């Protein structure tokens, strides 16, 4: 029977195969893979399998080249419009009378340069993005020991094949998925794969699952590719290699199961991964393009019908002249500056983010986090430190608190819980910690990072022992204290024993200074460390606070287990420490026939309970406050973890993800409910469940991915944080993936859009605030630029229809938009965040970047600008052109070119000044210009730069007159004075229009809030069948305590909603669809006793 060749399998098929590999007997497995546990494969077999299956490595999809990325930037709608405009400009000038004049092509060249710069910046940024799959392939070590032809041999990891027998030891990285047949104190770190912070004990035995036993994330007799061996030795048969391994499945999830899609014939289709900003800009570009085309066609038809001919060449056809006019109008209509301005704004935002400890890998991701409505976070290393830390101790009948975080023994202390007195010299503390230390194999040392030069404390060994070692150092035990107690016996922890046992040689009357007294003649000390219920059951006596020893009664055991339950309820991991002084070993040490199990049973008799130690992976500093801030910003924080449900709930409560008002039964679930019977719920049921749950426990990588997809289907913008390999698929799928920079794996970083350089969840809230501010700034400068373009179109349209000379050339329009308008636009993109920006609702995913009321504001401001500038232009024409305003009459005047240029110059100066004033007005859609007028320091710099560019454009000979056609030195005092009327008129009229904008903006926010409340209630109402044992009830609670899943259905002072009074009586009716329910007696009494605002909520009970 040949080894079956691997094939591409579905997730369910992979799971089923792995289950079979774990449950088959070794004899059956050996037959399937045609190998031998004693001799392994032959070299010939291995070569044959390698040729058939391929190397043991992950597939890497082809990476797009810099050229491909550059060309992809040219496919956006607005860029295509710019390319067409540039080509049309060059083509028209090439067929005109000035075809031989290089200056006639400046317009087309200028547009082309803008396009190239914008595409180049975006392509270079994308090219620098890391490759997650490349990082995955680098997680395994270069070589591994295997058995070939009965001999142990070191071979390269890529040549490992299915059926190979691998030889494993501490420090090895699993080369492939492996079924163990030999395991001695064998432990692996699966934190990167499952999120579990603790090392996982592995065995070679096949264990039947007990009734009601929670499903383990990984089989006990399987070790998986890329997991490091932290303890013991082992041997196993390789069952899966390369893309067939669990890590390979994650690689498939990152890359996508399907083949790469193509767009535009040859470019990869990236539409599914577009951010809201990218989609909104494309929609805006499409609207602008269609509008520009319509306007150009419209003005062409009007001019053609009206027979508007080129006055300088009356014999030419009207349609040819109108093509030139249409090109001018197109340049005025298409916002050339938006793509470049957005790119610059996001680039500057990336730079500012660095100061907030956020490294942005993709430009458009800057604003996406600001639109996030849900943050899905991994627990270990993200919300928590990822470092098991002792926080509590019970020793000799006294309870202690242990302070400090992480592995630094120089931070924190041991204090009595009742008095907060220093307890490091207490008899029970020193006895408990030293005894525990004698039953550990973990060391702690200070190491210096060669790259950063930073020193930090690093434990080496079992992660569950690290808290004991750190706490022992805190109370003054030296690094080498265990060497004073030579070890005579060690029985490692096993899942069957539930404890570890050591026997050490001791001397003296006390275990240590101020430690437990040792009976006269004591030469050995047995120490047991393990599960409290097992240890306590073996104890017959206990250490007392006065230093003596007393009997451990059944009632004492119950009381001690209550202490254990108290620790466990706080999600603390509890270990019991017991000891037994002995004059001699209870077995013949020279008898080789005495087994380890016999020695274990002989030494663990008549134990003395010394104490308990309680550890936890603590929450990061500031995380609870950041979660509350996220709630205030309208963001739901969801924890997705591989921990057991009770542990996950306790951690969630610690960090405020779950609050007192949350119903744990419906807000926290085991991920098994997502896939009853092994199949995921239908999309509708999945969406109803994920719409309210805040904690998902026992999550697999596929679960995280499905949860994120479900949240996205509900129209939410999902952010996903994480640090492990298991987080990578969800990081890649989320609208924005946020990886940890310090403890995060390269895989997670490669799949992310942002990296938190300080690994602090708190930085996410700062990034949300910054992202919202950047998006708000982009809205402001887009509105500013668009109002300028609208004004340009209106002005040119008016000139054509009325028959007055077009007031500026295409090159003048480009100069206005890109030189004098671009700096203020960039400054608007750097506008400081508004004070209440974190109190605003997250914007809807499909919300356009320019809202309807913004379009109205832009049209109004464009019309104001047009009316003011056209009025100034008409006055200038009358002054400089001998009282003439119509084009046909002006072209009959002597020196009409110079006179017309003087009029155009006055209008040009007035427009620049007016737009500079409008830049200050545009800092807020609703607040007056004079409010905090100097609050944006960048704006002052931008206006100065714009003014310098203006005076260069109108005053420098050669550049002003020959290239731009402006004559600032010839307009005289009258011209400069007339231009001042532009900013004055613009200021007065634009500020007056802000009242209309203020009314519309407030109405939009109110309507948005109503829609969100209705949608939230609908989701809650539809999720009832998922929790059949829950009943709906309306209650009254303080406003500040309301949190999902409780849904607000009424509030005081809101028309059409429930109205209530301080007496707690229902004075109104619930909204449509809800019964008019009276308050319960307790709720009424509660409400009547409150002096603060309350609101009605609908919740599950």
Instruction: Tell me the pLDDT tens digit for each residue of 19-67.
Output: 788 888 888 888 888 898 888 999 999 999 998 888 888 776 666 777 8
Q: Is 350 exposed, middle or buried (0-12, 13-18, 19+ CB in 10 A)?
A: buried
Nearest to 860 by CA among 996, 749, 982, 956: 996
DSSP string, 36-100: -TTT-B-HHHHHHHHHHH--SS---PPPPPHHHHHHHHTTSHHHHHHHHHHHHHHHHHHTSTTTT
**Distance of alpha carbon 903 from alpha carbon 40, whole angstroms:** 93
Residue 1047's pLDDT is what?
36
CB-based contacts of 768: which residues, under 8 Å, 6+ apart?
369, 370, 372, 630, 633, 635, 838
637 near 630, Cβ under 8 Å?
yes
**Distance of alpha carbon 135 from alpha carbon 752, whole angstroms:** 12
Residue 192's pLDDT is what?
63
Asked if the model's pLDDT at residue 117 lies above 70, the reply is: yes
Tens digits of per-residue pLDDT, 485-503?
999 998 888 767 788 999 9
Q: Span 717-731, mean pLDDT?
A: 78
Q: The dihedral of CA 658, 659, 660, 666: what is its sign?
A: negative
Tens digits of per-residue pLDDT, 413-462?
999 988 889 988 898 999 999 999 999 988 888 888 776 677 888 888 78
Q: Is 184 helix (H, G, I), strand (E, B) or coil?
A: strand
Least confident of 184-193, 194-203, 266-275, 963-972: 266-275
CB-based contacts of 688: which residues, under 8 Å, 6+ apart?
1019, 1022, 1023, 1026
Asked if the model's pLDDT at residue 71 lies above 70, the reply is: yes
Residue 134's pLDDT is what?
47
Asked if the model's pLDDT at residue 870 lies above 50, the reply is: yes
Q: Is 316 helix (H, G, I), strand (E, B) or coil?
A: coil
Tens digits of per-residue pLDDT, 353-369?
777 777 777 666 776 77
Q: Which two tokens stand for residue 404?
A: 């400090």
Residue 107's pLDDT is what?
65
Least confident of 670-684, 744-758, 1002-1016, 1040-1054: 1040-1054
Residue 235's pLDDT is what?
92
Beta bridge partners, 575, equal 613
CB-based contacts of 368: which residues, under 8 Å, 6+ apart?
275, 276, 277, 717, 719, 735, 736, 753, 771
Nearest to 971 by CA among 901, 875, 883: 901
Question: pTM to 2 decimals?
Answer: 0.65
Residue 80's pLDDT is what?
77
**Distance of alpha carbon 404 from alpha carbon 473, whole angstroms:** 12
Residue 431's pLDDT is what?
93
**Distance of alpha carbon 864 from alpha carbon 918, whole angstroms:** 11
Tens digits of per-residue pLDDT, 1026-1042?
444 443 333 444 434 43
Q: Which two tokens stand for residue 875?
A: 């006055």
Residue 1054's pLDDT is what?
33
Q: Span 630-638, mean pLDDT?
A: 85
More confidently predicted of 1086 and 117? 117
Mean of all residue pLDDT scores within the chain: 77
C-alpha distances out from residue 350 to 125, 327, 341, 347, Å: 11, 36, 14, 5
Q: What's 764's DSSP letter?
A: H
Asked if the model's pLDDT at residue 127 lies above 70, the reply is: no
Asked if the model's pLDDT at residue 1093 lies above 50, the reply is: no
Q: Is 7 helix (H, G, I), strand (E, B) or coil?
A: coil
Residue 1080's pLDDT is what?
35
Asked if the model's pLDDT at residue 266 lies above 70, the reply is: no
**Distance of alpha carbon 221 from alpha carbon 747, whole angstroms:** 26
Beta bridge partners, 399, equal 394
More confidently predicted of 378 and 165? 165
Best-predicted range by mean pLDDT (109-118, 428-437, 1044-1053): 428-437
Least confident of 239-248, 400-409, 757-766, 919-928: 757-766
Residue 752 banded pLDDT, cuts 50, 70, 90? confident
CB-based contacts of 256: which residues, under 8 Å, 6+ apart?
none
C-alpha distances out from residue 610 to 483, 499, 513, 546, 782, Å: 21, 15, 16, 13, 70
Tens digits of per-residue pLDDT, 775-799?
888 888 888 888 888 888 888 888 8
**Distance of alpha carbon 708 from alpha carbon 984, whole angstroms:** 52
User: What are the backbone angles phi and psi of residue 512, rounded to the nearest 5°?
Assistant: -160, 180
Longest Cα separation, the chain:
126
Helix, strand, coil share of the chain (percent; to 5): 50, 15, 35
More confidently predicted of 252 and 971? 971
Least confident of 163-172, 262-271, 932-941, 946-955: 262-271
Residue 387's pLDDT is what?
81
C-alpha distances out from residue 1067 to 412, 803, 1013, 1057, Å: 55, 68, 21, 10
Tens digits of per-residue pLDDT, 592-614?
788 888 899 999 988 999 999 99
Residue 1018's pLDDT is what?
59
Residue 907's pLDDT is what?
92
C-alpha distances out from residue 855 to 786, 793, 858, Å: 9, 15, 5
Best-predicted range by mean pLDDT (320-329, 607-616, 742-751, 1011-1020): 607-616
Q: Which two tokens stand for residue 271?
A: 């539409």
Residue 91's pLDDT is what?
74
Residue 964's pLDDT is what?
78
CB-based contacts of 452: which residues, under 8 Å, 6+ apart?
none
Active site residue 310: no
Best-predicted range by mean pLDDT (369-378, 571-580, 831-840): 571-580
CB atoms within 10 A of CB 286: 14
Tens digits of per-residue pLDDT, 835-856?
777 777 777 767 777 778 888 8
Catalytic residue among 378, 619, 687, 821: 378
Residue 211's pLDDT is what?
62
């Amino acid at each position: 029977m040949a080894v079956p060749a691997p094939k591409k399998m579905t997730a369910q098929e992979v799971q089923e195969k792995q289950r079979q590999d774990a449950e088959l007997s070794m004899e059956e497995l050996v037959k399937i893979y045609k190998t031998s546990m004693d001799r392994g494969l032959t070299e010939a077999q291995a070569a044959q399998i390698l040729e058939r299956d391929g190397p043991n490595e992950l597939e890497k999809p082809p990476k797009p080249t810099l050229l491909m990325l550059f060309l992809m930037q040219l496919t956006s709608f607005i860029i295509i419009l710019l390319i067409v405009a540039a080509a049309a400009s060059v083509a028209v000038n090439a067929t005109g009378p000035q075809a031989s004049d290089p200056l006639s092509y400046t317009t087309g060249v200028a547009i082309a340069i803008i396009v190239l710069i914008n595409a180049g910046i975006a392509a270079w940024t994308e090219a620098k993005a890391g490759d997650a799959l490349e990082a995955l392939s680098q997680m395994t070590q270069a070589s591994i020991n295997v058995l070939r032809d009965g001999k142990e041999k070191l071979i390269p990891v890529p040549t490992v094949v299915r059926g190979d027998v691998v030889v494993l030891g501490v420090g090895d990285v699993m080369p492939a998925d492996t079924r163990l047949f030999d395991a001695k104190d064998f432990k692996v770190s699966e934190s990167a794969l499952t999120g579990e912070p603790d090392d996982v004990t592995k065995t070679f035995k096949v264990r039947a699952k007990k009734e009601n036993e929670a499903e383990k994330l990984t089989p006990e007799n399987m070790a998986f590719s890329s997991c490091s061996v932290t303890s013991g030795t082992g041997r196993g048969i390789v069952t899966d290699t390369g893309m067939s391994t669990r890590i390979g499945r994650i690689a498939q999830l990152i890359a996508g199961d399907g083949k790469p899609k193509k767009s535009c014939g040859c470019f990869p289709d990236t539409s599914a991964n577009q951010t809201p900003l990218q989609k909104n800009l494309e929609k805006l570009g499409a609207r602008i393009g269609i509008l520009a085309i319509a306007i150009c066609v419209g003005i062409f038809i009007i001019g053609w019908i009206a027979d508007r001919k080129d006055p300088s060449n009356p014999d030419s056809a009207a349609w040819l002249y109108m093509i030139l006019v249409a090109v001018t109008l197109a340049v005025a209509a298409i916002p050339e500056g938006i793509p470049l301005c957005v790119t610059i704004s996001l680039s500057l935002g990336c730079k500012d983010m660095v100061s907030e400890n956020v490294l942005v890998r993709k430009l458009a991701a800057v604003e996406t986090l600001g639109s996030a409505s849900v943050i899905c976070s991994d627990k270990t290393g993200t919300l928590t430190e990822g470092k098991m830390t002792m926080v509590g101790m019970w020793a000799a009948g006294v309870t202690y608190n242990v302070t400090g975080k992480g592995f630094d023994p120089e931070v924190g202390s041991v204090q009595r819980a009742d008095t907060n007195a220093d307890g490091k010299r207490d008899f029970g503390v020193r006895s408990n910690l030293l005894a525990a230390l004698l039953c550990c194999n973990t060391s702690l040392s200070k190491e210096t990072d060669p790259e950063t030069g930073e020193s930090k404390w690093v434990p080496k060994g079992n992660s569950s022992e690290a808290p004991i070692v750190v706490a022992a150092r805190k109370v003054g035990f030296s690094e080498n204290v265990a060497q004073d107690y030579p070890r005579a016996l060690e029985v490692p922890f096993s899942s069957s024993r539930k404890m570890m046992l050591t026997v050490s040689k001791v001397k003296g009357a006390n275990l240590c200074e101020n430690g437990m007294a040792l009976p006269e003649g004591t030469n050995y000390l047995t120490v047991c460390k393990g599960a409290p219920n097992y240890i306590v059951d073996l104890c017959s006596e206990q250490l007392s606070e006065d230093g003596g020893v007393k009997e451990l009664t059944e009632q004492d055991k119950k009381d001690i287990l209550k202490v254990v339950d108290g620790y466990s309820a706080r999600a603390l991991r509890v270990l019991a420490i017991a000891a037994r002084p002995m004059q001699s070993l209870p077995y013949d040490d020279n008898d080789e026939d005495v087994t380890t199990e016999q020695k274990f049973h002989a030494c663990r008799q008549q134990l003395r309970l010394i104490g308990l130690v309680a550890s936890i992976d603590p929450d990061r500093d500031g995380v609870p406050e950041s979660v509350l801030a996220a709630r205030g910003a309208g963001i739901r924080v969801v924890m997705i973890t591989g921990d057991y449900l009770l542990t996950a709930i306790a951690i969630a409560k610690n960090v405020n993800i779950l609050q007192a008002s949350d119903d744990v039964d419906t807000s926290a679930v085991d991920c098994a409910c997502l896939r009853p019977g092994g199949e995921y719920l239908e999309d509708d049921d999945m969406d109803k469940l994920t719409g309210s749950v805040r904690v998902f426990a026992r999550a697999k990588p596929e679960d995280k991915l499905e949860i994120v997809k479900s949240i996205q289907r509900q129209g939410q913008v999902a952010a996903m944080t994480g640090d492990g390999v298991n987080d990578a698929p969800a990081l890649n799928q989320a609208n924005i993936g946020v990886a940890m920079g310090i403890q995060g794996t390269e895989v997670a970083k490669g799949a992310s859009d942002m990296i938190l350089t300080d690994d602090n969840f708190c930085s996410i809230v700062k990034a949300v605030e910054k992202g919202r501010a950047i998006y708000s700034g982009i809205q402001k400068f887009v509105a500013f630029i668009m109002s300028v373009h609208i004004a340009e179109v209106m002005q040119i349209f008016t000139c054509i229809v009325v028959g007055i000379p077009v007031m500026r050339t295409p090159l003048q329009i480009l100069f206005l938009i890109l030189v004098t308008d671009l700096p203020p636009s960039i400054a608007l993109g750097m506008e400081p965040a508004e004070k209440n920006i974190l109190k605003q609702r997250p914007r809807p995913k499909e919300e356009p970047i320019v809202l309807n009321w913004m379009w109205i504001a832009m049209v109004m401001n464009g019309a104001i600008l047009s009316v003011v500038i056209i009025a100034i232009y008409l006055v200038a024409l009358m002054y400089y052109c001998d009282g003439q305003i119509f084009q046909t009459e002006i072209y009959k005047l002597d020196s009409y070119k110079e006179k017309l240029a003087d009029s155009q110059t006055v209008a040009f100066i007035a427009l620049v000044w007016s737009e500079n004033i409008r830049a200050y007005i545009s800092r807020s859609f609703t607040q007056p210009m004079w409010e905090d007028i100097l609050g944006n320091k960048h704006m002052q710099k931008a206006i100065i730069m714009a003014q310098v560019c203006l005076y260069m454009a109108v005053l420098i000979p050669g550049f002003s007159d020959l290239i731009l056609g402006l004559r600032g030195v010839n307009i005289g005092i009258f011209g400069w004075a007339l231009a001042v009327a532009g900013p004055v008129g613009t200021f007065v009229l634009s500020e007056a229009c802000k009242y209309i904008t203020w009314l519309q903006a407030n109405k939009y926010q109110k309507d948005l809030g109503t829609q969100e409340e209705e949608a939230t209630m609908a989701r809650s109402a539809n999720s009832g069948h998922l929790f059949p044992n829950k009943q709906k009830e309306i209650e009254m609670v303080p406003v500040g305590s309301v949190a999902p899943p409780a849904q607000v259905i009424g509030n005081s002072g809101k028309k059409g909603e429930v109205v209530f009074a301080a007496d707690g009586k229902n004075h109104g009716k619930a909204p449509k669809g809800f019964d008019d329910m009276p308050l319960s007696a307790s709720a009424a009494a509660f409400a009547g006793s409150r002096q603060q605002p309350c609101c009605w909520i609908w919740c599950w009970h």
